Amino acid sequence: MRDRVAVAQDGGVSQEVLQAGPPQQPRPFPTALAWTVGLVALAVFCALSLLGIAELATRNAEAARLLAAVEASEAAMVDTQEKVREAFDAVPGQPTQDDVEGLRAQLSAIAAEGQGAIAAAGVQVSAVTVLPWHAATREAKTAYLAHNQAWVDYLGAATEDPEEFLRPQPAVNDTFADARLPLFAAVPRFDFVNGIDRIIVIYGDAESGEEPGGNDQAT
């Protein structure tokens, strides 16, 4: 026994090697498992990409519908302003009492017609569906509806008293200014519906806090 150990030691084989056996070779990673992990990772990446694309498309679609409804509302307001302006322009320089009474009746009718058109446009704004987590779009919708309602109230008062057209309308101008930034915020960073340019057209001047045409022009 002593001679065998010595021979083993002389041959360079240690006792530990004899006890542990030959060194273990690393197991190769199963090819099928590697493919499975890769395919799962690819599927997750594709799913997340599709979700991102769908989210962007949905936000653009919401912005497009909201801006279309806002543009229709603004068109009804501008139409009312133009009719009021034309009614005042038609009055002779030295109006008679009949001219004044005729103007008042005409302005009252214009106000009633405009109120109906603008209220109907507001219904369209309200009908725009917004996903619950799209807070910016929802805030823009709420802010613009406040402006639309301010116009409805204004024209409702003008229907009863046409001299309302001669008075300042801070609620109309303030709500218009208040809706500007929320509308810009509702447009996605990747703007596929030309939303930013459309909002600038609505506001005339991107820095303006007063509605193009202004209420004082209705006089």
- Rounded to whole angstroms, the Cα distance separating 207 from 200 reads 9
Torsion sign, CA atoms 177, 181, 182, 188: positive
Angle (nearest 5°) at CA 101 between 100 and 107: 85
What's the pLDDT at 215?
39
**pTM of the entire structure?**
0.73
Is 173 in contact with 210 (CB distance < 8 Å)? Answer: yes
Angle (nearest 5°) at CA 184 between 180 and 185: 115
Per-residue pLDDT of the chain (219 residues; tens, 9 = 90+): 445 444 444 455 555 555 555 566 666 656 766 656 665 565 554 554 545 555 778 899 999 999 999 999 999 999 999 999 999 999 998 999 999 999 999 999 999 999 999 999 999 999 999 999 999 999 999 999 999 999 999 999 999 999 999 999 999 999 999 999 999 999 998 898 999 999 999 998 545 445 443 333 332
| Most distant pair of Cα atoms in the chain: their distance | 141
Kindly state the DSSP code that residue 96 receives in the 8-state scheme.
Answer: -
What's the pLDDT at 31?
74
Task: Kindly write down the DSSP assignment for every residue of 103-137, as one continuous string.
Answer: HHHHHHHHHHHHHHHHHHHHHHHHT----TT-HHH
